[in-house]
A = this chain, B = another copy of it.
Amino acid sequence: MRRFANDLPETAAIGTVGVARWEKYSLGDLLPFQAMWYTVPPGGSPPQDCHPEVELSIVISGTATVEVKGKIADVPAGSAFLLDSREAHIVHNRSRDIPLMVFSAYWMPR
């Protein structure tokens, strides 16, 4: 059994978003996907993201306000959201005080 602590000291920043990619764990091809944790600070609105990978996100804490094609949907802690390949998205944190923390798995579509 291996544990992976959500250890932000090793986190890289993309704008105000903290990103901890799982490549650092050197798991090789044990996982059939790539993975990361990321945090969006209270009030944060990162730039729109769009990539060929399908992405499944699990909200760990806070609420993700996900914007796709101008439509907004809230995803609370304990819930998940799935983005298709090349589905442009923005993950906002509209809270004034609670950081948003997300676990994401992403992979190229088959």
Contacts and interface: CB of A to CB of B under 8 A. Distances in A.
A1 B33 contact: no
B73 A1 contact: yes
Interface in A6-38: 6, 27, 29-33, 37
Contacts of A87: 1
Nearest to A56: B31
A interface secondary structure, majority: strand
Interface of A: 1-6, 27, 29-33, 37, 54, 56, 58, 60-61, 66, 68, 73, 75, 77-84, 87, 89, 101, 103, 105, 107, 109-110
Contact of A58 (B29, B31, B84, B103): B103
